[in-house]
Chain A
C-alpha cells in the first residue's frame, strides 16, 4: 500500500508532491554496494533505537534506526573497513524541499565515535507526520537542530577518493 501511494505521488508534478503528503520512503543511493528504498515497514524490521530530546522544556522520545545500521545494510564500509580512501567519504542527507546537510562517514561510525544519529520514524510512539515528514534525522549531540533534517527523502553516499 505504501509503495502504491508513493508511485502515484511520483507521477504528479513536483510542486504537488512538495505541498502534499510527506514521501513514504527514503532512497539510499550513491557510492553504496546496495542501493535501498526504505519504507516504515522496512525500518520496523531493523534493529530499533531510541533518543530523547528536550526542546524548550518539551521532551520528545524518537524511535527509529541508527543511521549506521542503514549504512551497514547498504554495504558502506564500517569499523575496521572504514580506513584509507574510504575516510574521504560522506553522507548527504536531503529533505523534500531540497535542504541538504552533510555528515562524514567516520562521524557516523560507532567504531570511531560514540555519536547518536537516528533515522527516526516515530515521536512519542506515533508515526511522524506533517512538517516532521514521515522520516527525519535526530542528532541530539549537535547543539543547534540544523542537521536534524525533517522530511528526509534521500541519503546519498559520496566517496571523494575512488
Chain B
C-alpha cells in the first residue's frame, strides 16, 4: 500500500500530474542500483552463448521490443510469443501476455534467464559460473557495492534480479508529442490528422479503442504508487486475433477454464509505431492491419470474443488519421536516451 514511498533518492522527473510507479518495499530505488541494472541488462555474459542479453530481445530503439513476431533465444529456439515492450512496465499490475499471477519484475526476470521452455538466455545450470564472472568484472567491483552498500554477499541472483528490476522501473515514458498536446498545453504538438484520429480512438461508436487501451498509459489496468488492489484488476480479453492453439491460448494456459481461451492482456499503445509486428503472436504486421482487424470487429470468429468489439466503418482518411494518432504516442527521446542505452558499446 505504501510501496510508492520507497522511491528513495530516485527521481523519474515526471511531468506534473502523472503518478509515480509503485516500488516494492524490499527493493527501493537508487541511482546506483539502476546503473548496475543497466550494465546487467545489456551484459552478454547473461546468456549461455555469450551472445545475448535482455537487450537482444528488448532493444531500446524499438521501445524495448525486438521487431520479430517470435523472439529468438540464445540457442535459436523460437518463443511462442512476441516480445513485449518494457516501457512503463513498472505500472503493469501483471507481467507477460497472459499471466495475472506474475506480478513482480524481480520474479519475472528469472524466466528469460533460467527458463528451459523456451530457452531464452539459457543460464540454467550455469548460475554459479555466471556469478563468478560478474565478481571478476572490474566494472561490477564498483557497481555492486554502490548498489547494495549494506550487504556482504553481493554477487547473488537475488541482487542481479533486484538491480535489473530497478533498471526496468526507471524506463518511464510520458513525454510523447501526444502528452504535450493533451497534458502539456501545447496545442500544436500533434498534427490535425492525429487530432482527428484521437476522436476516432475515443469514440465507442467507432474505434472504441479507449475502452480497453484506457487512461494515460493507453493500457488495461495499471498500478501506481498508492493504487488500490481494485484498480489493478481486469484487462484480459479475447479479441479474435488467432485460432488460439496451445501454447497460445492466453489465460487458459493457467486456469484451464474454457471461457479463458484467447484472453490476453491489453498492452500499452505507447510507442506502438516502433514495436511492429503486433499482437501476442506478431500476426499483424502494420498498424493499418491492426486497424482493419478491429474495424472487422476482430478478424477471427470465436465464442469467447469480447462483445465490446463490433465492426465499424472507416474511410481511408479515417484510417490514416488513426495511424497518425497512434504515431503521436512515440517518445523519440526515450528511444535514444543515454540513460537506457547499452553501456558496453
Contact = CB atoms under 8 A, between A and B. Distances in A.
Interface of A: 18-20, 55-59, 95, 97-99, 126, 129-131, 146, 150-151
Given A58-B215, A130-B182, A151-B199, 17 more contacts: A19-B196, A19-B318, A56-B214, A56-B222, A56-B224, A56-B231, A57-B19, A57-B222, A57-B227, A58-B17, A58-B19, A58-B216, A97-B204, A126-B185, A130-B181, A130-B195, A146-B204
Interface of B: 17-19, 181-182, 185, 187, 195-196, 198-199, 201-206, 214-217, 222, 224-227, 231, 318, 321
A31 B199 CA distance: 31
A104 B256 CA distance: 43
Contacts of B231: 56
Contact of B199 (A19, A58, A59, A126): A19
A152 to B, nearest CB: 13
A130 B184 CA distance: 14
B199 A57 contact: no
B230 to A, nearest CB: 10
A99 B204 contact: yes
A84 to B, nearest CB: 35
Contacts of A150: 202
5 contacts: A55-B215, A57-B19, A57-B224, A95-B205, A97-B204
Contacts of A95: 203, 205
Majority SS of interface residues in chain B?
loop
A91 to B, nearest CB: 19
A20 B192 CA distance: 9
Contact of A56 (B181, B187, B201, B217): B217
Contacts of A59: 17
Contacts, number: 56
B345 to A, nearest CB: 35
A20 B318 CA distance: 12
A61 to B, nearest CB: 11
Contacts of B203: 95, 97, 99, 131, 151
B199 A129 contact: no
A58 B215 CA distance: 9
A55 B17 CA distance: 11
B216 A56 contact: yes
A4 to B, nearest CB: 21
A97 B205 CA distance: 7
A72 to B, nearest CB: 30
A150 B214 CA distance: 14
A115 B321 CA distance: 38
Nearest to A132: B202
B205 A98 contact: yes
Nearest to B20: A57
A146 to B, nearest CB: 8
A97 B201 CA distance: 12
Contacts of B225: 57
Contacts of B318: 19
Nearest to B199: A131
Nearest to B207: A97
A147 to B, nearest CB: 12
A98 B204 CA distance: 9
Contacts of B222: 56-57
A151 B217 CA distance: 21
A126 B186 CA distance: 12
A56 B216 CA distance: 7
Contacts of B181: 130
A97 to B, nearest CB: 4
A129 B19 contact: no
B216 A130 contact: no
A18 B205 CA distance: 12
Contacts of A55: 215-216
Contacts of A129: 187
A131 B197 CA distance: 9
Contacts of B187: 129
Contacts of B214: 56
Nearest to B206: A97
A58 B203 CA distance: 21
A55 B215 CA distance: 7
A109 B205 CA distance: 29
A131 B17 contact: no
Contacts of A130: 181-182, 195, 198-199
Contacts of A151: 199, 203
B19 A56 contact: yes
